[in-house]
Amino acid sequence: MERIVSKSFWHKYHERFHQLRSHVCIGLDSQLDKLPPSLKDSANPIRDFNLAIIAATQDYATAYKPNLAFYLADGLRGITALYDTVACIPPEIPVILDCKVGDIGSTMSAYVQAFFKDLKVDAITINPLMGADVLKPLLEIESSFAFALALTSNPSAQDFFQAHELKVAIPRWIEDYPLERLGAVVGATQVADLKSMRKSLPDRLLLIPGVGAQGGDLQAVMTHAIANKAEPRILINSSRGIIFASSGEDYAEAAGTAAQKLYEACKA
pLDDT tens for residues 200-209? Answer: 899 999 999 9
List, for residues 127-152, the tens digit of each pLDDT value.
988 888 999 999 999 889 999 998 76
3 pLDDT above the threshold of 70: no
Q: By CB neighbour count within 10 A (0-12 exposed, 13-18 middle, 19+ buried), where does 129 fall?
A: middle
Across-strand partners of 66? 28
Give the mean pLDDT of 159-171: 61
Region at 159 (left for phi over 0; alpha for psi -120 to 50; beta for the rest): alpha
Chain mean position to CA 69 = 13
Q: Note whether residue 243 is domain-resident.
A: yes
Give the mean pLDDT of 94-120: 96
Tell me which of 100, 120, 136, 261 is the catalytic residue: 100
Q: Note whether residue 2 is domain-resident.
A: no
Query: How confident is residue 64, by pLDDT bands cut at 50, 70 and 90?
Result: very high
- pLDDT above 90 covers a percentage of the chain that reads 68
120 tagged catalytic: no
- For residue 214, the enclosing domain spans 9-265
Query: How confident is residue 211, by pLDDT bands cut at 50, 70 and 90?
Result: confident
Query: How confident is residue 153, by pLDDT bands cut at 50, 70 and 90?
Result: low
DSSP string, 126-173: E-GGG-GGGTHHHHTSTT--EEEEEE-SSGGGGGTTTSHHHHHHHHHH
Per-residue confidence (pLDDT) for residue 148, from 0 to 100: 93
Q: Note whether residue 100 is domain-resident.
A: yes
Per-residue confidence (pLDDT) for residue 151, from 0 to 100: 76
Tally of structural domains, the chain: 1
189 pLDDT above the threshold of 80: no
Give the mean pLDDT of 166-178: 79
Query: How confident is residue 170, by pLDDT bands cut at 50, 70 and 90?
Result: confident
Residue type, 92: E
Q: Note whether residue 71 is domain-resident.
A: yes
Q: Note whether residue 155 is domain-resident.
A: yes
- Who wins on pLDDT, 152 or 179? 179
Taking all residues of the chain, what is their mean pLDDT, rounded to a whole number? Answer: 89
Q: Note whether residue 147 is domain-resident.
A: yes
- Who wins on pLDDT, 223 or 239? 239
Query: How confident is residue 156, by pLDDT bands cut at 50, 70 and 90?
Result: low
Give the mean pLDDT of 214-236: 84
Q: Note whether residue 3 is domain-resident.
A: no
Query: How confident is residue 197, by pLDDT bands cut at 50, 70 and 90?
Result: confident
Distance CA 235, CA 205 (A): 8
236 pLDDT above the threshold of 90: yes
Per-residue confidence (pLDDT) for residue 216, from 0 to 100: 67
Give the mean pLDDT of 60-74: 98
242 pLDDT above the threshold of 70: yes
Strand order in the sheet with 234-238: 63-66, 24-28, 234-238, 206-208, 182-186, 146-151, 123-126, 96-101
The CATH number of whichever domain residue 226 belongs to comes to 3.20.20.70
Q: Note whether residue 53 is domain-resident.
A: yes
